[in-house]
Chains A and B, each alone.
Chain A
């Protein structure tokens, strides 16, 4: 099996080590944003609907969770952008990353982090929907 680009660009082989140690963590950034957004939405809803039902009302809840969702989506988009750059797909159209080189590992982690950002984005939008679609607690 041959990848779309088997030629090796010498400069790419020399990505810095410091960048690499962070790229494993890059993988979990977007899903973590989803998780934090999810947990925060759940906690705030419990407080607004059960503990302090008169304080906020559903309208207030919608604005708070709406703002949180905006923040979360922005963070996920930023991660997606960073991982898209790391993947660097348009440079060599490689989406297989099966060669034993630092560049492949580097792009693979970017690719996977990008895909995870896409799923996290959809997941975050999904979680925000009930707040807007459900009018009451």
Chain B
């Protein structure tokens, strides 16, 4: 099957381009005409249709503004809480409302501001750093944004109806499992929905960094921001799925009374704490790293020299990415785990300080080695470093178990986490907004207002949170809605100070907000490269953005092309680099190899559409309607979402191109179609399924967790999965996988009829496998509400059956493609991607069958 391994045609023509090619003059008339064609292709829809845009610059801006809005709203909740706590015995807020407010403040700041803000900024900026026209999957970004907008509005909106979750942002059972009302369901389902957009963004960003760099931008030349995005994308894939698995179990308990976290029926609330913090601690670094990445772009510009210690910063980003997964139990030091276990996490918490410190020292070294021009963004970065260092120092303190036992659940922790988040995220992001504002809006923000905002926020922040270290050490617990007026406590004046500080800080944010949104029609247009930066985003077009990213995609030979590659900007502007024309009237970007960024493919990317909005709306129904126990309408919405996504894929992706190759400029011709690992779609599927596998692994972890922690798991006498049906299920899924795998080879070898037959068999086998899997837990009469053991078996069966649905639809999609000429022996990307899905489905099914049948019998 040698043909099987050819995924893409070879490029034709010279590469890399020689100096004589890069210096050859560009015909001015061609430059004008091709520029006009390109402008027409990338023109944004106007009027109402503006909202059908999928371009990264539009979607990124909507995303960022919405996150900013949620941040302000969650900030208002914090102000209201500060008013309540200003004096002892206050009755400004009721206890119930206070509970809702602190829960929503934390949840919104994390899920609706910090994480999506990273995604927003990355979607907005990453293509510019890479000189790409757009992200590889623009519609996926748009879909993710609309999911976020719907889910975020739903979750936050609940606060206005007094129906918001009130059990704290980490939703600990049994408080949260037994909480009345729909608040906890809103949290679980609404935020699971939003996690979809995070994973979508992770897929988009990882593929973007690895495959969409400009020709020549080898991995040792890529902007540090891209390194950070790569690491954070990978972290999202391993951090968010455990929470999704936890949400899955939690919602099964709330909706159907399956007792995963109920100790009376063998469950264990600690499993939720584990799953939540396996997500929750890496999440802190998911927030921190991309923000510090902004600093890594601003610092060299301010210092006027390349970063010192590029390799060291890469080291610290990757090392933090790993070590941050070994910290989660430091949120659980007081839960009674074995002392040695606590020691592991304490040790890892201290170890993560090393790479974190390395990058800060690299920034300082860059500033010392360069000639610093103090700018407003640099002021914010300086403030960030100071505040983050304070937060880091208290972090070293609370990483020690004995100290943590003293301050656990006190205001000391509130102070610590706000110092790390403001220093590690809020200030760098504010710096980024000011620094990149001229890139995004083509105007400058006011330096005067910027300095006012900085000093107000900086002063207010310290006034608000510094005293909390003291209130905490004096024993004031977190999350109390009021406290008594006792001389012995002496908390009153410290709390009043914090409240005053909070309002000073709020005034600073108001100034900042005004500066962002104030009309700037009369302001002079910003210069093209106002800060004198050296990276590719400053090749953007002024005074208006044609939406194309870059006029033509450059050939890169340095880390700071605008400083180190003479004549580059002029050549890019003339259209004399790659893809300077769009004669077919299609949106395109370049795909390059992972290590050395050799150009290999012209990727056609999708344009404006309403279908992403429809898909997001239906997906929203799937997640939101179960809150109100409307399960059948929710399933209908699920079907609608699937139909919308199929429609979008069918019409506009992986269509056989009109020619095998096309000239892309500088004498090079590149293929227009790729399949398997050479295509971006395959990587998208692979990365998505890696995240899915992590969620599944979390379920397996849960299974063994119950076994380790409890004495009645597996429950003696409860029965296990029906062995014959478990075996049958495994055989059916194995058969389905084999059919898909054979279909791929047969199709490629030209035996189309046989391939179609195999593709018709796969869905039948998927259905049979799902039925056998369901029968394996149903026939023995395992009652999932009686004990956690049968509930866990049911959870595995449900998980596998749900995953069989795409496994059933995908072969049919490929079959239809084959019948309608979308999928041919030479154009089989869909088939590769669907077969890849089936690999993962097979793993899921085999592990589930083993967990249902043989494994418990051995335990």
**Contact status B708-A46, CB under 8 Å:** yes
Residue B558, interface by CB 8 Å: yes
B354 touches A105 (CB 8 A): no
- Taking a contact as CB atoms under 8 Å apart, the answer to whether A119 and B221 are in contact is no
Chain A positions within 8 Å of B341 at CB level: 42, 45-46, 49
B355 adjacent to chain A (CB < 8 Å): yes
Question: How does the 8 Å CB contact mask read for A24-48 relative to B, with 1 for contact and 0 for none?
Answer: 1001100110110010011001110
**Pairwise interchain contact B315-A119, C-beta atoms closer than 8 A:** yes
Closest to A51 in B: B708
Q: Is the CB of B343 within 8 A of A98?
A: no
Q: Does B23 contact A (CB under 8 A)?
A: no
Among A114-137, those with CB < 8 Å from B are 115-116, 119-120, 122-123, 126-127, 129-131, 133-134, 136-137
A86–B340 alpha-carbon span in the complex (Å): 38
Does the CB pair B220–A104 fall under 8 Å?
Answer: yes
Q: Chain A's interface: helix, strand, loop or mixed, by majority?
A: helix
Q: Given that A47-B708, A98-B306, A137-B338 are known contacts, is A115 also in contact with B311, CB under 8 Å in the complex? A: yes
CB distance from B622 to the nearest CB of A (A): 34
Q: Is the CB of A49 within 8 A of B219?
A: no
User: A98 to B563, alpha carbons, bound, how many Å?
Assistant: 13
Cβ-defined contact, A105 with B347, below 8 A: no
Task: Confirm or deny: A50 has a beta carbon within 8 angstroms of a beta carbon on chain B.
Answer: yes
With a 10 A CB-CB cut-off, give which of B306, B311, B325, B339 has the most chain A CB atoms. Answer: B311
B709 contact set on A, CB distance < 8 A: 46, 50-51
Partner among B310, B321, B354, B594 whose Cβ is within 8 Å of the Cβ of A24: B594
Question: CA A133 – CA B326 in complex, angstroms?
Answer: 19
Cβ contacts under 8 Å, B315 to chain A = 112, 115-116, 119
Chain A residues in 8 Å Cβ range of B708: 46-47, 50-51
Q: What residue of chain B has the Cβ atom nearest to residue A32's Cβ? A: B322
List A contacts of B331 (CB < 8 A): none
Q: Are A130 and B312 in contact, CB atoms less than 8 angstroms apart?
A: no
The smallest C-beta distance from B338 to any residue of chain A, in angstroms, reads 4
Answer whether A97 and B319 are a contact pair too, CB < 8 Å, given A45-B340, A126-B347, A131-B343: no
- Cβ-based interface call for A84 (8 A): no
Smallest distance from the beta carbon of A25 to chain B beta carbons, Å?
11
Q: Residues of B contacting A120 with CB < 8 Å? A: 319, 322
Measured CB to CB, the closest approach of chain A to B791, in angstroms, equals 21
Within 8 A of A (CB), among B305-362: 305-306, 310-312, 314-315, 318-319, 321-323, 325-326, 338-344, 346-348, 350-351, 354-355
Residue contact B220 to A97, C-beta cutoff 8 Å? yes
When chains A and B are docked, how far (Å) is the Cα of A50 from the Cα of B707? Answer: 11
Considering the complex, which residues of chain B in the window 228-285 have a beta carbon less than 8 Å from any beta carbon of chain A? none
Pick the contact of A27: B216, B218, B318, B594 (CB < 8 A).
Answer: B318
Cβ proximity bits B696-709 to A, threshold 8 Å, 1 near / 0 not: 00000000000111
Q: In the bound complex, how far is the Cα of B354 from the Cα of A119, in angstroms?
A: 8
- In angstroms, how far is the closest chain A Cβ from the Cβ of B566? 15
Q: Chain A: which residue is nearest B305 at the CB level?
A: A1
> Is B409 in contact with chain A by the CB < 8 A criterion?
no
Within the complex, the shortest CB–CB distance from A31 to chain B, in Å, comes to: 4
A-B pairs under 8 A by CB, number: 137
B541 at the binding interface (Cβ < 8 Å): no
A: interface residue count bin: 35 or more
Residues of chain A lying within 8 A (CB to CB) of residue B551: none
In the complex the two chains form, is A134's CB within 8 Å of B596's CB?
no
Assembled-state Cα–Cα distance A121/B219 (Å): 25
A119 engages B344 (CB within 8 Å): no
**Interface SS of chain B:** helix
A20 adjacent to chain B (CB < 8 Å) = yes
Across the interface, name the chain B residue whose C-beta is closest to A133.
B343
Which chain B positions have C-beta within 8 A of A47?
Answer: 708
- Residue A95 lies at the interface, judged by CB distance under 8 Å to chain B: yes
A31 to B317, CA, bound (A): 12
* Interface flag for B513 (CB, 8 Å): no
Does the CB pair A28–B343 fall under 8 Å? no
Contacting pair A38 B348 (CB below 8 A): yes
Enumerate chain B residues within 8 angstroms of A58, measured Cβ to Cβ.
Answer: 340
> Is the CB–CB distance between B218 and A100 below 8 Å?
yes
Q: With A97-B220, A115-B315 known to touch, is A49 a contact of B338 (CB < 8 Å)?
A: yes
In angstroms, how far is the closest chain B Cβ from the Cβ of A106?
Answer: 9
- Known A24-B594, A45-B341; contact A108-B311, beta-carbon cutoff 8 A: yes
Q: Is B557 an interface residue, CB under 8 A from the partner? A: yes
Bound together, the chains give a CA A104 to CA B216 distance in angstroms of 13
Given contacts A105-B218, A131-B340, contact A112 B347 (CB under 8 A): no
Contact between B323 and A97, CB atoms less than 8 A apart: no
Q: Which residues of B contact A38 (CB under 8 A)?
A: 326, 344, 348
Tell whether B408 is near chain A: CB-to-CB under 8 Å: no
Residue B559 is within 8 A (CB to CB) of chain A in the complex: yes
Chain B residues with CB under 8 Å of A16's CB are none
Cβ A112 vs Cβ B351 within 8 A: no
A95 to B308 CA separation, bound complex (whole angstroms): 10
Q: Annotate A93-105 by CB proximity to B: 1 below 8 A, 0 otherwise.
A: 0011111101011
Residues of B at under 8 Å CB distance from A?
216, 218-221, 305-306, 310-312, 314-315, 318-319, 321-323, 325-326, 338-344, 346-348, 350-351, 354-355, 556-559, 594-596, 707-709
> Can you pick out 9 interface pairs between chain A and chain B where the beta carbons lie within 8 Å of each other?
A21-B595, A97-B311, A98-B310, A98-B558, A100-B558, A108-B220, A112-B315, A122-B354, A134-B339
Interface residues of chain A, those whose CB is within 8 Å of chain B, are 1, 20-21, 23-24, 27-28, 31-32, 34-35, 38, 41-42, 45-47, 49-51, 58, 61, 95-100, 102, 104-105, 108-109, 111-112, 115-116, 119-120, 122-123, 126-127, 129-131, 133-134, 136-137
What 5 A-B pairs come out closest when comparing CB atoms? A130-B343, A108-B220, A31-B322, A100-B557, A115-B315
